[in-house]
Amino acid sequence: MKEPVGHDQIRAMLRSLAERAAADSTVALHHAWLFAGPPGVGKFRVARWWASLLKCPQAGRCDPPCESCRLVASAVHPDVFETGPAPKDKNATVTADQEIERASSVKIAQSRELLQRISLRPARPGPRIAIVREAAAMTVEAQNALLKILEEPPGSAVLILVTDNIGSMLTTVRSRCRHLAFGSLSTEEVRLVLTGLGKEPAEAEAAAAAARGSVSRALLLDADGLAERETILAGYEDARRSALAIEPFVQLVAQKKDRGFALADILEWQLAKVEASLGRRGPEPSEKLSRILDEHAPAAGNCDPRELIAEAERIQRTIDAIERNANAKLVIRDLLMNVRMDRVAS
């Protein structure tokens, strides 16, 4: 199986564990792992890659890939079980609320199936392995059902929970797992992934520069995605200037599935204004964004940088609240109302 891009230290540690287990069948791996970090940085890909190493007789050193590695890569290995939220039907039209419900649909039945399958004897050398995508989407009941395997692991079984939102995981679950903290990819690493997926070099470079280390974000940033990003930033500035623009902007952001990315764009934008207020300018990914910043740079230059930083902190608190599953419309509306009140007071 092709080795993932990035996270060199984590991959080196996981490879070492797999090689030790392959060389000595008495080596005991920790039974529960929590792969946590930003969305779209390859956590699930690393989890599946590690599963292939643990099941490969040569710990992934086979060339060409052996049958076991091919089965894991195709998600059909008898000893590797994957579960998570139901995949989105690309042909179905759903509301934002329905999409949120889908993303919260890892039910107790799936946990019970996981427990049943991971408790079976391995069909091939190596442990039984279960990988849970978007583990924070598990219901409380589903997470509690996992406690049985976390407290009494069956044999050499390995459970890998993958999450973008560790704060939504139960403390009783988190405390029984070994944590691996994944960071963002570098811009160059994102670009390499995109070109490997067949993106044109210029498009891959522009998307990687605006993706903040997330491949999934970069994949959204085609020409239309970059234009939408510019619309979000311009809409934010309109809402800062006029109370009448607040509600349209709230609706615009709240209906976006990737609203966390949209708010992160706004945070990055606010920090760009801090730079402008200090007389510095970082590189902008498009001429249109440069024009928007040029329009607001004089105003930023007249602001105390501390005021702009305080606004950035409000944006970060809003992002944190949404990651904790707060009502997106309420917290975005609250953000803008408070920003306007601060501006009037100053």
Measured distance CA(300)–CA(284) in Å, rounded: 17
- Do 182 and 37 contact (CB within 8 A), yes or no? yes
Which CATH code fits 222-345? Answer: 1.20.272
Tell me whether domains 8-181 and 222-345 share a fold: no
Angle between helices 43-55 and 8-23 (to 10 degrees): 20
pLDDT in the model for residue 87: 58
Reported as a single tens digit per residue, the pLDDT across 39-63 is 889 999 999 999 999 999 999 889 8
Which CATH code fits 8-181? Answer: 3.40.50.300
- Which residue is associated with the tokens 């903040």? 212
Nearest to 163 by CA among 133, 122, 190: 133
Average pLDDT, the chain: 82
Q: Where are the domains of the chain?
A: 8-181, 186-216, 222-345
Minimum mean pLDDT range among 61-75, 133-147, 242-256, 332-346: 332-346
pLDDT at 282 over 60: no
First to last CA, the chain: 58
Measured distance CA(336)–CA(346) in Å, rounded: 15
pLDDT in the model for residue 97: 44
Reported as a single tens digit per residue, the pLDDT across 179-192 is 999 999 999 999 99
Three-state SS at 64:
coil
pLDDT in the model for residue 221: 78
pLDDT in the model for residue 309: 85
pLDDT in the model for residue 58: 92
Angle between helices 246-254 and 223-241 (to 10 degrees): 150
Three-state SS at 143:
helix
DSSP for 215-259? Answer: HHHHHH-SHHHHHHHHHHHHHHHHHHH-GGGHHHHHHHHHT-TTH
Largest distance between two CA atoms of the chain = 69
Query: Could you tell me how many residues make up the chain?
Result: 346
pLDDT: is 77 or 99 the higher one?
Answer: 77
| Percent share of the chain, pLDDT over 70 | 84
The stretch 121-126 carries a mean pLDDT of 92
pTM over 0.75: no
The stretch 251-269 carries a mean pLDDT of 76
| Percent share of the chain, pLDDT over 90 | 33
